[in-house]
Structure 1
Amino acid sequence: MNLAQLHYTSAPPGPDGSGFRFTAVSPGVPAALLREAEQLIGYEPPRDAPPRPGPHELAAFPQALSLNVLGDGSRLLARSVYTGADYSGRWGNFHAHAVHLPQPAGSGPAVGELPITAWGSPQWAAATPPGGVPALAAVPAPGRLDRAALAAFVAARAPWLAAFFADVRRLGEDPDAPQIVLVEADSEAVARWIMLACSVLPHQRGQWLTFTTYTRRPQLARQQIIGVMPEDGLGLAGQEHRYRVYDASRSAAPSVGPPDVWADTAARIWQGQRQDLVAEVRRLAAGPYDAGPLAALALAAGIALPSPGRTAAADWAAGHRDALDGVRLQALALALGGPAGDREPAEVEAAGRLLAALDGWAPPTVCEPLVALTLTEAVRTGAPPAALPTAGALGAAVRSRLAAELEPGLRAALSGPAAEPEHPAGLLRVASVLGVDVSDLLPAVARQLALALLGDPERAYGAGVRAALAELPGLRALVLDRLDSLAAGDPAAGRRLFAGTALRPTAADARPHLRMCAESPAVAAAAGQDRVGALNTLLAHSGVSLYAEPLVLRTAMRLVWDGEPPGADEAGLVLMATGAQVHREAGTWELLVRAAVRAPAGDDGALELAPELLGQFQEEIPARLRPSLLLLELARNLRTGAAGGGWVRQALDLRSLDPEPGPRETAYAVLCARLLAADRPDSELRALIESNDAELLAAYRLAARKPVVHDRLRLDPGYAADCFTVWSSQPQAGPLWQEARTDLLDGVLRPAVRGLAPAELAEVEQALARLGGRWADEFRGWQRPGAFGRLRERWGGRRSGDGQGSGGQGAGGHGSGSHRSGGQGAGGHGG
């Protein structure tokens, strides 16, 4: 390797009038390189330098050793020193000796001497040698390294080292990183700073770290690390976007940025005088600034690190257990498991990961410190690690000692409230590993865990809970027992538990409510719309007889119908299949009753179900629900002909007790249909007219508008005649009946009559004539336009009970033999 040399100094003025020029240059150096180098190797003496220093004073002047990157990418390593004033005293006298390193920055050798090692090299010349300067074969040889002085320097600069290494790292990673300014009264101290910087950088990166150990004008310097005298560093500390200033003369550490574990570890290694570890780590690290391997070597070497450093070491070692030999691995484990007042949760977690990596691979002597750490911290915090050690990770003596130390804390932690559901489960696993008997605490922990599982399954059923239920059969049995009991009270929560977790009762687990909760989604999907079939399938899956365990019926019904009552038809099938006694014992009779009373109007299933419920659950049905069922029973009896008498009065009396809307509407509809039938008693129709009940009369008007009534009015002359007499009667009744009969005559009968042929009208008149009185004449007059208004006025003018209408006061029944001429009350008509 040919490295050109350059000598530059002040001398008597040359032909161009300048006193500064190159006095010796190796052959072949281009003029452009010389012009660029000339701008970089100048020297200004310190501000307080004596004008004519003596030999001893000259030795104290700062030296400017610098490395610069030139425009073509090559580098220039130079040393500039002050040699005293010239013979005339008109200009300063200095000498610069430079070596040109032609390899571009970043491409230098991966081994070999770093440029900064040339500090103090005997090959630097303080004057131009006679006879020319041949090219050098290598960078000037390193100067003498005073290790004791370097150790003293590191100890004195300890407060600044971590921040300095962090800033050096930024120089290597960020082209726009601030320049580092080192304020020292001695340029040799600056050179030591730079040596420290290069020692922690990758070797090639250290070859092109630009620096100068001294400059009078730091604002003009372009090197990455700049050394200045104290008087030249004033005012730079406030420009942190440009400079990071380290001024040991003022005993003020620079502002601290984000924590840098790598930089802090490197600083502690230098303070521990184990800088050899920085070089050794390069065979272990994947990246130049990996904190983990550096911290692992430091801890194994006995260098104390704070919690972030220990965390990084444990995390790295967990993934690289083969990288350290047994001695270092054991030393690392001892360092991690030792007492520490600053231990953070992240460190405990990392130690647990390392233990998991070593458990079963390394001998117990390596694992035991980590086991003691993780278990002790688990008991102290109540938050056990995700992975617990196996039995082989502890020797008998250590296990016995830890059990005695941790049992009081374990029992206290298990007896108190838990921040997370996994904590008590994990602590039980810790007790199992140590052989501590806490069986008396299992029921309370199982209850707490069961409540958490039902309340928030996804959160509660974590890895720790899964492991505890798998490893501790006693806990699993108690938890399932408690879950079964809780699911019986809240089956929907039990279904959510199995929908959101992988927990499943096994064939050996005789927990009927849990089994049904687990099977519920699949059974519902298979059954489709057949919910009664789904109920029977769930009961079969429960594994017990509902007669031996009636509560399974309640759980199954809540799962199938989501806590709502079944349909009336479904309720009837369930009651028929199971019998009343099991519903009475399970408390599900109320669901059946609600199925009937909440059924929509016109639900035939409710009509059939209500009498069964009234007969089977006479004592259980509360008073507030009984009117609804009785109305449904009345409607059923009206349809079957078993109602007896007093229908209207029964309906109105039950209506006054505030039944549910569905049963009320159903009963009114059936009652009114019977009042429109051919065989209705006259007394019931009279009761309707005299009731003056708006809702019942509205139901009657609605029933009269049914298609079956319209068809019969057109097809049955006797029926039409009967309806005319009924709806034309009782003018003395209340206004509600007056409104109703007017609506029935105008809105129901008149449209039907208008559609009749003359022969059909004649048949209606004949039917009216058979009823007697003037009904036929009234009908003919009612049909004429405007005539009904006059009739209405005449009827409206009658006094109650004056008996002046044709055919008497009452309305006759349907057919020639049903009308009682002159009789009292309203007659019937066919429906």
Structure 2
Amino acid sequence: MGLEQAYYTSCEAGLRGTKGFQMNAASSGLSPTDLTYLERYGVYLPPLSCPTMPATPEELALFPRNLAYYKLPDGTAVLSRSQYLGQDYSRRFGNFFTHYVVSRQAAGLIGKVNPVFAWEAPFWVSREAPQSQLPLLESLSSGSALNPETMRTFLAAGDRRSHLPNFLAAVHAALSSRKRLILVEQDEAIARWIALAALALPNSLLAELSFSTYTKNPYNMDVLICGTTADSDFAFSPAEIQHQYQVFDFVRNRFSPPPPQTRFSVAAAEWYAAGDFQEAADFKEFADNLQGNYQAGDLDALVVLYAFIRNQPVGDQEVLDSVNFLIAKGLVGHQDLLNTATAALCDLPVDNRAADRVAGALFSAVLSAPGTGPEAREDATRFYVDWAVQRLLPGATPETFASLAAAFARHRVPPPAWEAARTEIVRWLENPPGAAWLVALIGFLQEVRILPGFEAAVLAGVRTTLWPRLDDPQVQDLLGSIFEAGTLPGLDDLVVGNVLTSGRRPEGLDPLESLLSRPRTRERLKELAARRGETAMVILLTARELAKSSDKAQATVKFLDAPGLPAGARLTAPDLDLLFHQVWRSGMMLPRDARTLLDRRPDLLSHPAFCRLLVQGLLRSSDILNPTGETRELLQKLREMATPSGPARAGQSPAVKLPPEVQGCLELAAWPQRYEAAGTAGDRIQALKRILYLLPPENAGARSSLMRFVLVRYLSSDSHGAKSSDFLADLYALDGELLLASLPGVIETVFNKSSLSPGQWVPLFAFLHRRSTEEPPNRHIDDLYKQILPHAYDTLPKHVKHLLDGMLSSKSDWHTPWETWKKRPSLINKLSGGLLGR
């Protein structure tokens, strides 16, 4: 596309229609607004040192030319050249001519010429046009002045070479900070300085490198690099030189503090110092071919990438930074860059963990990029598979395995990509560094869908390393996931065989809880067991499920109605025995569960295992001593079975052999009558001893109720007399802990109904007094003797206290203990004394 152009000078005929400075001619696409902006930039004021009325070509040559590149507010790019002409049409001095080349997009201009290399190019015009409309410029050519030979000569003169790195660093910094450079030197020298930067800049940054080779007033020329003269309007104040601008005054040797060097400034300075201007041009071409919209901060990474391509040495961190740059800029699709980057990463030390992260990011970036070709995908996959096998997997943690597996699975890396690593993976499977590592490796192979290809090695590793650790939940979870997938027939046989063997003992499957807690694993095991005719295994696995049900009894009833056994199989007595003991593994069945089962299957009462569980449940039922509800109904059924009403009829099932504990249940249910029927205290102690023997220790509720009942009956009756303290001693001998735990509540209960009579007090006091003198001290005895009993005594009526004093004080062996005990402050007195401060 052609470029618009315009001429500005002092003329008789122009676009304004009057004489004087104006646009002499312009392309039709330039609007009046465009032309107004262009006029502001095109004004030329000569240096004060130049002649005011130059008369010869030599004098005119003293006036600096201004080649400028800048952008208008709307982003329009302008390349202009201003030249002092001397006299205008009226022979007045001060005339100049500015030729503008305009492009709406900077790329349109940059694509035709590197702006500064338009210095003295043949397309420039310095004479006014006879017509007002100018054609479009279809092409632009560079001038011949800024060639490598003249540039070498330029740098060799004076101390310019020593300032080159600082100048390039200042340009690099200005592209991001916008801190302007002020150059003081002859106009063509300034163009050469600018060319040294522009020659190496990618087009996207070249478009931002605005400049002017001469202006009298740099304050009015908003460009990054502003050339001027020593006698210009620029003040060159210390603040400006030190802080506000980057000054390079080669006439009076005034220079700002140098900025930090960058990878770009150092590399470009080295190229130029060696006289290798082609290297800079090659770097620019390399960057432009990548077709990125680069920022100033990208230059260093581009230099390192270029060094990659040229096989030049770069540091480890530069390698990582550059690969990250490739990823961030979406350049991973360039095959040569990808190959170079992967090769550079592989040259980094094995223990470089940052390299691991960058390698993974590169792999994901290549396979995620929408335009990545098959060759690049293949190369990136091959690279990262090799990276994983050689660098990551040997020392991988479970988290590393999981992260890698997710990456390979997400990008659907095909199984053939792993073929080159087969030998290494097989070696690891057969000789792993540890069980946990092998678990993670096998899980990884499963996740990336290549496990079946390593079946033999996996089975070898499982047998030698994992099977001895089958009690490890992680091992079980791994085997369960593989088993459920059904991808390794050999592992199926191994797992099923082990479960069948272990399951022949009811507790044999307990160590495999993590494995069997997986629903799909259980279902597949049952399926395989049924296929092999292993009825017991189906029952065992089902029973473990039933045991976890919120309503075990109802779930068991459903199973008994439709057991789902192998074809032709029926539930046998051993099968039921296995079922009940696995579902009720505590060894007891709650009465409500038994009632649910018997309502549906009354015949279960004839099954010994069911009866044993039922009886154990009854023995531990809190209402066994005073049966209600299900407990009473179940005891009645047992009573009927234990006492058949007549001889068995023909065809009737033979009598069931009930567990011996059935008789104990029946005794417990009838114990109040037996206790009341006992004539003496000794008989009652024996009856109580029998009941406590029958009641399991874990049925604490029933045992506590029993002891409270006996104590209440004892303390509520006067028939025992003073000598009956032996009864309490006998109770203490049966179960002292239970007695002492029950006494406080019983004393309170009896006292609330009616105060203890002297006949009740004497044996209780005598018992507690004797126990209080025993060693070691008993906290429960102390509480009863020193707090609870004194509190009860303090609340007795006076006449009862008088009778009690008479009974105990008259006995020589009780007088002293009784009087001493009465002097102890009661709990109430202690509390009231404390509150009153006594």
Normalization by structure 2: what TM-score?
Answer: 0.50
**Alpha-carbon distance in structure 2 between the residues aligned to 1:225 and 1:655:** 107
| Aligned counterpart, 2:68 | 66
1:440 aligns with 2:460: yes
Contact conserved, 1:359 with 1:389, CA < 8 A, in 2?
A: no
Contact conserved, 1:311 with 1:346, CA < 8 A, in 2?
A: yes
| Aligned counterpart, 2:347 | 341
**Alpha-carbon distance in structure 2 between the residues aligned to 1:276 and 1:794:** 123
Measure how far apart 1:319 and its partner are. 11
| Aligned counterpart, 1:190 | 194
1:667 aligns with 2:669: no
Distance change in 2, residues 1:649/1:40 (3 Å): farther
Equivalent AA in structure 1 for residue 728 of structure 2: S
Task: Encode CA deviations 1:285-316: one digit per residue, 9 max, x unaligned.
Answer: 8x88999xx99xx89x9677945655776899
Contact conserved, 1:638 with 1:674, CA < 8 A, in 2?
A: no
- Counterparts of residues 247-262 of structure 1 (less than 5 Å): 252-254=260-262
Measure how far apart 1:494 and its partner are. 6.2
Equivalent AA in structure 2 for residue 113 of structure 1: K
Identity of aligned residues (%): 12
**Secondary structure of the structure 2 residue equivalent to 1:426:** helix
Distance change in 2, residues 1:691/1:4 (3 Å): same
**Alpha-carbon distance in structure 1 between the residues aligned to 2:665 and 2:456:** 66
Contact conserved, 1:631 with 1:663, CA < 8 A, in 2?
A: no
Measure how far apart 1:143 and its partner are. 0.7
Aligned-residue RMSD, C-alpha: 7.7
| Aligned counterpart, 1:26 | 24
Aligned residues: 630
**Alpha-carbon distance in structure 2 between the residues aligned to 1:229 and 1:351:** 55
| Aligned counterpart, 1:533 | 554
1:425 aligns with 2:443: yes
**Alpha-carbon distance in structure 2 between the residues aligned to 1:696 and 1:690:** 15
Contact conserved, 1:6 with 1:26, CA < 8 A, in 2?
A: yes
Distance change in 2, residues 1:517/1:666 (3 Å): same
**Secondary structure of the structure 2 residue equivalent to 1:141:** coil
- Counterparts of residues 341-490 of structure 1 (less than 5 Å): 341-342=347-348, 343-348=355-360, 350-351=362-363, 371-382=385-396, 383=401, 384-385=404-405, 386-387=408-409, 389-393=413-417, 399=419, 402-404=421-423, 414-416=432-434, 422-426=440-444, 437=457, 439-443=459-463, 446=466, 471-474=487-490, 488-489=509-510
**Secondary structure of the structure 1 residue equivalent to 2:282:** coil
**Alpha-carbon distance in structure 2 between the residues aligned to 1:225 and 1:41:** 18
Contact conserved, 1:212 with 1:227, CA < 8 A, in 2?
A: yes
Equivalent AA in structure 1 for residue 24 of structure 2: S
- Counterparts of residues 205-244 of structure 1 (less than 5 Å): 210-212=210-212, 222-223=222-223
| Aligned counterpart, 1:120 | 119
Query: Quick one: which of 593, 596, 608 aligns to 2:620?
Result: 596
Equivalent AA in structure 1 for residue 671 of structure 2: L
The gaps in structure 1 that reach 5 residues or longer are 10-20, 87-91, 172-176, 257-268, 613-628, 711-723, 740-787, 803-831
Task: Encode CA deviations 1:140-196: one digit per residue, 9 max, x unaligned.
Answer: 82314889789999xx9999999999989x86xxxxx64575989753342453465
**Alpha-carbon distance in structure 1 between the residues aligned to 2:228 and 2:624:** 96
Distance change in 2, residues 1:794/1:422 (3 Å): closer
Contact conserved, 1:80 with 1:97, CA < 8 A, in 2?
A: yes
Task: Encode CA deviations 1:526-565: one digit per residue, 9 max, x unaligned.
Answer: xx5x33334666896899999579998776457xxxx999
Equivalent AA in structure 1 for residue 5 of structure 2: L
Distance change in 2, residues 1:577/1:421 (3 Å): farther
| Aligned counterpart, 2:684 | 647
**Secondary structure of the structure 2 residue equivalent to 1:730:** helix
| Aligned counterpart, 2:98 | 97
Contact conserved, 1:65 with 1:79, CA < 8 A, in 2?
A: yes
Distance change in 2, residues 1:227/1:447 (3 Å): farther
- Counterparts of residues 656-735 of structure 1 (less than 5 Å): 661-671=700-710, 691=728, 730=759, 733-734=762-763
**Alpha-carbon distance in structure 2 between the residues aligned to 1:215 and 1:594:** 110
Measure how far apart 1:26 and its partner are. 1.2
| Aligned counterpart, 1:79 | 81
Distance change in 2, residues 1:731/1:138 (3 Å): closer
Contact conserved, 1:237 with 1:244, CA < 8 A, in 2?
A: yes
Distance change in 2, residues 1:727/1:2 (3 Å): closer
Contact conserved, 1:379 with 1:410, CA < 8 A, in 2?
A: no
Equivalent AA in structure 2 for residue 691 of structure 1: L
Contact conserved, 1:513 with 1:552, CA < 8 A, in 2?
A: yes
**Secondary structure of the structure 1 residue equivalent to 2:192:** helix
Contact conserved, 1:65 with 1:213, CA < 8 A, in 2?
A: yes
Distance change in 2, residues 1:566/1:364 (3 Å): same
Contact conserved, 2:618 with 2:665, CA < 8 A, in 1?
A: no
**Secondary structure of the structure 1 residue equivalent to 2:197:** helix
Measure how far apart 1:212 and its partner are. 3.9
Contact conserved, 1:187 with 1:214, CA < 8 A, in 2?
A: no
**Alpha-carbon distance in structure 1 between the residues aligned to 2:208 and 2:363:** 39
**Alpha-carbon distance in structure 1 between the residues aligned to 2:516 and 2:211:** 71
Distance change in 2, residues 1:411/1:133 (3 Å): farther
Measure how far apart 1:468 and its partner are. 11
Distance change in 2, residues 1:250/1:664 (3 Å): same
Task: Encode CA deviations 1:587-625: one digit per residue, 9 max, x unaligned.
Answer: x99x96899288999786899999x9xxxxxxxxxxxxx
**Secondary structure of the structure 2 residue equivalent to 1:663:** helix
Equivalent AA in structure 2 for residue 66 of structure 1: A
Distance change in 2, residues 1:518/1:801 (3 Å): closer
Contact conserved, 1:4 with 1:99, CA < 8 A, in 2?
A: yes
**Alpha-carbon distance in structure 2 between the residues aligned to 1:607 and 1:555:** 26
Measure how far apart 1:99 and its partner are. 1.0
Distance change in 2, residues 1:364/1:347 (3 Å): closer
Equivalent AA in structure 2 for residue 253 of structure 1: Q
Distance change in 2, residues 1:454/1:506 (3 Å): same
Distance change in 2, residues 1:237/1:602 (3 Å): farther
**Secondary structure of the structure 1 residue equivalent to 2:462:** helix
Equivalent AA in structure 1 for residue 121 of structure 2: P
**Alpha-carbon distance in structure 1 between the residues aligned to 2:726 and 2:132:** 138
**Alpha-carbon distance in structure 2 between the residues aligned to 1:564 and 1:455:** 30
**Alpha-carbon distance in structure 1 between the residues aligned to 2:468 and 2:344:** 35
Task: Encode CA deviations 1:310-353: one digit per residue, 9 max, x unaligned.
Answer: 57768999998xxx8xxx59x95697478722443342464378
Query: Quick one: which of 5, 8, 16 aligns to 1:6?
Result: 8
**Alpha-carbon distance in structure 2 between the residues aligned to 1:57 and 1:419:** 87
| Aligned counterpart, 2:671 | 638
**Secondary structure of the structure 1 residue equivalent to 2:67:** strand
Distance change in 2, residues 1:639/1:218 (3 Å): farther
Equivalent AA in structure 2 for residue 344 of structure 1: D
Task: Encode CA deviations 1:640-687: one digit per residue, 9 max, x unaligned.
Answer: 63897433476589999998742332213554687799xx99779995
**Alpha-carbon distance in structure 2 between the residues aligned to 1:165 and 1:487:** 79
Contact conserved, 2:113 with 2:140, CA < 8 A, in 1?
A: no
Distance change in 2, residues 1:390/1:630 (3 Å): same
**Alpha-carbon distance in structure 2 between the residues aligned to 1:654 and 1:642:** 10
